[in-house]
């Protein structure tokens, strides 16, 4: 499989190509104004990089990727335990990035809930952080649907660039293997 570094390079190059294309395509084929088109291409490009580099499909194994989360590496432990390596659930075009995004949102919600609970246990009256978090997401979807849509698309393409590279390499090895076998057989027939 391509190394984490190779995947990063693919993510950065594909993101750099896609961002300006998104801007011009949004201006050309949608009703969006220049400033919204610019914002959408920015969010799509950023989500593409974020997804490929920090939310990589290879979070399904103990790899360089979870180390990038520093002290928060443990967030991905349960994900790693339950998601089989290189399965549909971690390496697919749409479901797997959405699953990682959803998983992350649930983890953040859980942490905020525990934080609120902990503060109330020691006698403080904390704001309901977890509820606030959900409200913020809801408001964002309602007030900036185009940008949120661009972010989700970019999040999927960032993961897809990884998955497609993995597929190509696997297919490449398979083809090379087949070709190699045929060559060997031909060589044997000659004798």
Task: Give contact residues for Zn ion (rule: CB under 5 A).
Answer: 57-58, 166
Residues 15 and 54: beta-carbon distance below 8 Å: no
Least distance (Å) from Zn ion to the CB of residue 1? 6
Residues 89 and 83: beta-carbon distance below 8 Å: yes
Least distance (Å) from Zn ion to the CB of residue 177? 19
Least distance (Å) from Zn ion to the CB of residue 163? 7
Closer residue to Zn ion (CB): 26 or 57? 57
Least distance (Å) from Zn ion to the CB of residue 56? 7
- Rounded CA-CA distance 13/158 in Å is 11
Closer residue to Zn ion (CB): 7 or 130? 7
Closer residue to Zn ion (CB): 147 or 166? 166
- CA dihedral angle for residue 125, residue 131, residue 132, residue 133, rounded to 10 degrees: 130
Least distance (Å) from Zn ion to the CB of residue 162? 6
Closer residue to Zn ion (CB): 19 or 163? 163
* Among the listed residues 98, 12, 97, the one whose alpha carbon sits nearest the alpha carbon of residue 53: 12
- Rounded CA-CA distance 132/111 in Å is 13
- Could you tell me the CA-to-CA distances from 36 to 17, 43, 44, 158 in Å, in that order? 19, 10, 12, 21
Closer residue to Zn ion (CB): 86 or 144? 86
């Amino acid at each position: 499989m391509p190394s984490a570094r190779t995947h990063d390079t693919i993510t950065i190059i594909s993101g750099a190509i896609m961002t300006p294309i998104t801007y011009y395509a949004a201006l050309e084929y949608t009703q969006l104004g220049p400033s919204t088109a610019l914002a959408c291409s920015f969010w799509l490009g950023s989500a593409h990089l974020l997804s490929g580099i920090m939310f990589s499909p290879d979070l399904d194994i103990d790899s360089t990727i979870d180390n990038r989360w520093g002290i928060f590496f443990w967030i991905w432990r349960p994900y790693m335990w339950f998601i089989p390596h290189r399965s549909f659930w971690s390496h697919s075009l749409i479901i797997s990035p959405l699953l990682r995004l959803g998983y992350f949102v649930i983890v953040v919600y859980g942490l905020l809930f525990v934080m609120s609970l902990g503060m109330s246990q020691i006698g403080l009256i904390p704001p309901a952080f977890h509820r606030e978090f959900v409200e913020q997401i809801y408001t964002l979807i309602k007030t900036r649907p185009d940008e949120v849509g661009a972010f989700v698309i970019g999040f999927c393409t960032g993961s897809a660039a990884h998955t497609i590279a993995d597929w190509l390499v696997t297919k490449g090895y398979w083809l090379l293997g087949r070709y190699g076998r045929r060559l060997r057989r031909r060589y044997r027939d000659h004798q």
